[in-house]
Structure 1
Amino acid sequence: MTLAVGWALFISALLSSTLLPGGSELALAALVWHQPEMRLSAWAIATAGNVLGSMLTWGMGYGLARWRPLQGPHRRSVAHALGWLHRYGSWALLLAWLPVVGDPLCLLAGWLRCGFWQCTVLILIGKALRYALVVMTASALS
């Protein structure tokens, strides 16, 4: 894997875990399919980028809470994420990899002042497992 490919994968994973749309799973799967010997480093790069993006989203929520207290959620995905956080606490962040509700989970966790390190570890576990599944699937198909 070249340095440029590694950075492209990292940025793809980072952006797809923020409130911006994106799908890093396809980039990771394509890389593993074409270069199966790089699966471990590709998994680590994608996981690191995705967790960093989620923690940036957590930080945005943390910062927003200073200027705008959390009021009733307006979108359905935000309402679901908030319900999960109230019901399961930070443990809901194990599901931060899910489409639609994953990004609001991270944003709201910051907004609700959930602990930084606890959130980081839980997000890391969920996203690492999700990317491991992508890598195993792509490896099996190559």
Structure 2
Amino acid sequence: MNSFIELGYWGLFLGSFLASTLIPMSADVLLIGTLALGGNPWICLLIATMGNWLGGLTSYWLGRIGKWEWIERWLKVKEEKLLQQKKNIDRYGIWLALFTWLPIAGDLFAIALGFYKVNPWLSAIYMLIGRLGRFLVWIFLYLHFAERFFPHIS
């Protein structure tokens, strides 16, 4: 993580992108680290959101090119299980895209949305809204509590 933080805005973008795939990283830690090193909050918001959103869209499209036969053959998931998951996707549909920012589960939501061919445009918009909201909250918390947790910065 330190390597990404040391790269400044580029590291924030790359790390945020990778964190929204199945690679276990934290875009939140990168955001706070970049802010703590003096990053502009609005530039950090834009960069973290765009990187994380594009990574989520990558997961969506990887799911979209997936085939049922592959899942059954390579992951040993039976058709009944896939049909059950499809019912959940059909039930919650596009609303799952708002939660693709969640750790681990969000990556799976993005892949599932693509795999089950949920509207790509609406998925992209809802993914963007969810991720923007997440980073807005982190930036608000950082700005509100920075002096308490990072006294050397002020």
Query: What TM bracket, shorter-length normalisation?
Result: 0.7 to 0.9
1:84 shift after superposition: 4.8
Please provide the CA RMSD for this pair: 2.0
Matched, 1:103 2:130: no
Q: What is the deviation of 1:24?
A: 1.1
Larger radius of gyration: 2
Q: More displaced, 44-53 or 85-94?
A: 85-94
Query: How many residue pairs end up in the alignment?
Result: 131
- Residue segments in structure 1 that go unaligned for 5+ positions in a row: 74-78
1:12 lines up with 2:19 in the alignment = no
Is the aligned partner of 1:65 residue 2:71?
no
* In 2, Cα distance between equivalents of 1:138 and 1:68: 44
Equivalent residue for 1:34? 37
Opposite residue 122 of structure 1, the aligned amino acid is Y
Instruction: Quote the Cα distance in structure 2 between the aligned partners of 1:56 and 1:66.
Output: 19
Normalised by the size of structure 1, how large is the TM-score? 0.83
TM-score, normalised with respect to structure 2: 0.77
Deviation >6 Å, runs of 4+ = none
Per-residue CA deviations over 1:71-111 (Å, capped at 9, x if unaligned) read 326xxxxx6xx665232111111111112210000001000
Asked if 1:25 is matched to 2:20, the reply is no
The residue identity in structure 1 corresponding to 2:15 is S
With over 3 angstroms needed to count, the CA separation of the structure-2 counterparts of 1:66 and 1:131, relative to structure 1, is same
Q: What whole-Å deviation, never above 9, does each CA across 1:34-85 have from its counterpart, x for those lacking one?
A: 326x000001000000000000000100111375367326xxxxx6xx6652
Residues of 2 paired with 1:66 and 1:52: CA distance? Answer: 25
Of stretches 125-134 and 23-32 in structure 1, the one that deviates more from structure 2 is 23-32
SS in 1 for 2:8: helix
Compare relative contact order (CA 8 Å, sep 6+) and give the higher one, 1 or 2.
1
